[in-house]
A and B are shown apart, each in its own frame.
Chain A
Amino acid sequence: MSVDKDTVRRIAGLARLAVPAEKLEPLAGELNGIFNWVEMLNEVNVADVPAMTSVVAQKLKWRADVVNDGGVAEELMKNAPEHESTFFVVPKVVE
């Protein structure tokens, strides 16, 4: 499988990364270098192998469904690039 300019444009869109037009071709080249290298995984027969879902043998833990943190909206606003009281400000979303 080989990645072309249009594929890079499509993935960049999915990844929400603005990629300038002149960078699409070089990026496709770099990505192909990496994908050609990982092609070697196709040598291995994985037909009966289960996919790894957890690297340690432990069941995911349960916890009580209780509120144990929060009420810190004003503190969180200190890192906001733009806010009004405890609301984040973004460009208009709904016409």
Chain B
Amino acid sequence: MTDFTLASARDALKAKKISSLELTTALVKAVEEARPLNAYVTETPEKALEMARASDTRLAKGEGGALEGLPLAIKDLFCTKGVRTTAGSNILGNYVPPYESTVTQNLWDAGAVMLGKTNMDEFAMGSSNETSAHGPVFNPWMAKNSNSKLVPGGSSGGSSAAVAANLCLAATGTDTGGSIRQPAAVTGTVGLKPTYGRCSRWGIVAFASSLDQAGPMTKTVRDAAILLKSMASIDPKDSTSVDIPVPDYEKLLEGGIKGLKVGIPKEYRMDGAPPEIAALWDKGAEWLKAQGAEIMEISLPHTKYALPTYYIVAPAEASSNLARYDGVRFGHRAKGVRDITSLYEKSRAEGFGLEVQRRILIGTYVLSAGYYDAYYARAQKLRTLIARDFTEVYKKCDVILTPATPGPAFAVGDKSDDPVAMYLNDVFTVTVNLAGLPGLAVPAGLTANGLPLGLQLIGKAFDEATILRAGLAIEQAAAFNHKPANWWRAA
């Protein structure tokens, strides 16, 4: 029951082969049994069963939306009315939003069922889910002949683990520098970061507002197309939501990739990258070529400046966005302080974790008098150059194929002492956020010791349909049908 995809469960529900209540009950049980993975921070079983019953009533009448009766996991960055939302931080404590984010409201309007809220790096700042105030999430995957626990990627690590371990049919994630695509790649799942402006940011706890974008995390490319259709909308509550109608992405999956021009950026061949990554990348290009695509080498000359640019722009925006957590109106408040400044300083010091504090300090520094031009203004100019690189190559090609990550999942604790080493996880994904483009991670193979690796397809702005079609071509050629062994139920 729990290994249904969105598409297969939707069809089974419509054909009355299963009920949403049966499906939801099975998933609620799977979620409870998988607590050792720490993928969920808040489970909402009563709500899930109630929503499932309501869906069954609608389905029985032949009614219902595109996601009617389909159980989903929601990243804890999305505000959910009446359900605790923490963004993985102690500073939000037991914050219960009095409103619903636009993306999740769209999902409930389409009939989806909420199983609970998933763990994540604090304020989405991390690539391993280890900065969460709720503790790390463990990757359902383990290397062959090893018992060492691996990270599920981050920041949407609870969502990626939940999808990979069949603890939901699909999940929502958010992606500021790679936080959907990197965790998807290291858990053998599909992750799509849409074009900036495609999904409303309203009601999503803000990290870096010019980069943040919500997207689907699913078991298949088709499911990503289905879920994106319901997540995306034109939202008057988000001034950066773009006025372009949402297409039927699932319908647009058909048609194949004959004549598709695929660019291979030479700057993504990194020194010191594992040979397995390069081999998989070559294989991906061959798969697309065999299905009629035209492969060409391209150049994105400013690629190496993307990560340092990101680590100025994102902390700068974060330091401004996180100024709202002051211990006055909601969230954690320090005890026993006598003046207002100490109230702010102590509440923030107690509530924010170390990585968040580090980024607030970086952001405050690069925006401070005397340093603004040297750092922030320069980074915003580099961002223009990085985006221009893409504009240039898209005169010649339709999509770009790259590896999704520089390596497979690593062990818990391996990179947590070296911030720059951790930041390098996003080397292939971060350019896409800086340029506002859509990017899709698709599982494409296993390493010699049995860990999943993914490939990334980057598209033109608002051309999610083409990367989904190319992603489907890779998915079919790779025939990736591996699943992790279930070790957590015994734990």
A interface list, Cβ under 8 A from B? 1, 3, 7-8, 11-12, 14-19, 27, 30-31, 33-34, 37-38, 40-42, 44, 46, 49-56, 58, 60-61, 63, 72, 75-76, 78-82, 88, 90-93
Contacts and interface: CB of A to CB of B under 8 A. Distances in A.
A13 B381 CA distance: 29
Given A55-B435, A88-B328, A38 B312 contact: yes
Given A17-B352, A18-B346, A51 B380 contact: yes
Contacts of A80: 329-330
A55 B385 CA distance: 12
A16 B378 contact: no
Contacts of A88: 328-329
Contact of B364 (A15, A44, A81): A15
A91 B340 contact: yes
Contact of A55 (B210, B368, B374, B378): B210
6 closest Cβ pairs, A-B complex: A55-B436, A81-B333, A51-B380, A79-B330, A18-B345, A38-B308
B411 interface: no
19 contacts: A1-B374, A11-B368, A14-B364, A15-B348, A16-B344, A38-B312, A38-B375, A49-B384, A50-B384, A51-B384, A52-B383, A52-B387, A72-B98, A79-B96, A79-B331, A81-B330, A88-B329, A91-B337, A91-B340
Contacts of B363: 15
Interface of B: 95-96, 98, 195-197, 210, 236, 239-240, 242-243, 302, 304-305, 308-309, 311-312, 319, 323, 326-333, 337-346, 348-349, 352, 357-358, 360-365, 368, 371, 374-375, 377-385, 387, 419-420, 434-436, 461
B340 A76 contact: no
B98 A78 contact: yes
B98 A55 contact: no
A50 B375 CA distance: 15
Contacts of B195: 56
B329 to A, nearest CB: 6
A78 B311 contact: no
Given A41-B308, A46-B378, A18 B342 contact: yes
A52 B436 CA distance: 11
Main secondary structure of the interface of A (DSSP, over half): loop
Given A31-B362, A79-B96, A91-B340, A44 B305 contact: yes
Given A34-B419, A90-B343, A15 B360 contact: yes
Contacts of A37: 308, 311, 420
A24 B312 CA distance: 21
A1 B338 CA distance: 37
Given A18-B342, A40-B308, A52-B381, 8 more contacts: A16-B345, A17-B361, A30-B358, A33-B420, A38-B311, A41-B378, A51-B384, A63-B236
A59 B50 CA distance: 42
A61 B239 contact: yes
A10 B486 CA distance: 50
A76 B98 contact: yes
B304 A17 contact: no
Contacts of A53: 380
B349 A56 contact: no
B301 to A, nearest CB: 10
Nearest to A49: B381
Contacts of A90: 328, 340, 343
Given A40-B308, A44-B385, A52-B380, A78 B210 contact: no
B324 to A, nearest CB: 11
